[in-house]
Amino acid sequence: MNTLSQRKFSSSLSIILGLFTFIYGIGVFYLFLSWIGVQSYDPGIWQHDSLPFYVLVFLIALIGLFGIWRGKKWGVYCMAGSWALTGVLNSIFIMPTPLPYRVSFLANLLVVTFFLLLLPAWKDMD
């Protein structure tokens, strides 16, 4: 069986893409249900006014992941844009609290690792 992900991506990148797809898919579903009032949420973490914006950002990330799975460079730009928008939304809607260096380091490490794993496949993307 020779699927698109096996031809173009390493197994490590395929695993990360699969995890991102699962997490963002569940995230869109959870945030949408919270926004319409079906799912409860912690107002200390999420402000109700911010939920539609986070749903939109998670949808942009899912569209980007779809593009990456299809081998399109625009998908990478959508993912990077969704991460940037998440940072902007967090700075607007989440009360400033001290962020442990370990959390910040791991988040940046995940982004750098993602792009380093994507680098070999970049030349084969449209």
Encode pLDDT of 44-74 as tens digits.
677 888 889 999 999 999 999 999 999 999 9
Structural domain count, the chain: 1
Q: In this predicted model, what pLDDT tens digit does every residue of 1-37 receive, in sequence order? A: 444 444 578 888 899 999 999 999 999 999 889 888 8
| Separation between Cα atoms, residue 78 and residue 28, nearest integer Å | 16
Domain-embedded: residue 4: no
Residue 77 has what pLDDT?
96
Q: What is the domain range of residue 98? A: 9-122
Domain-embedded: residue 3: no
Q: pTM above 0.75?
A: yes
Domain-embedded: residue 72: yes
Domain-embedded: residue 98: yes
